[in-house]
Structure 1
Amino acid sequence: MRGAIMSFGSVSPHHHSGNRRSGRDHHGPASPVGGRRVLALSGGFALSGGLALSGLFALMLGAAGIATGAEVDRPIVLEVVHLEERLAFQASCDVTDGLGTTRTSRFAGQTNSSVRFVGTGVACRLHSSDAGLFQATLRNAGTVLARARGGASDDVMIAAR
Structure 2
Amino acid sequence: MNIGQAAEASGVSAKMIRYYEQTALISPAARTDAGYRTYSDDDVHTLRFIRRARDLGFTVEGIAELLSLWRDRSRQSADVKEMALGHVAALRRKIAELEGMAATLQTLAECCSGDNRPDCPILKDLATGTPAVDELAPRRFGVPGEFEAVRPGAKRRALRRSESDAHR
Same fold (TM over 0.5): no
- Higher helix content, 1 or 2: 2
Larger Rg: 2
TM-score by length of 2: 0.28
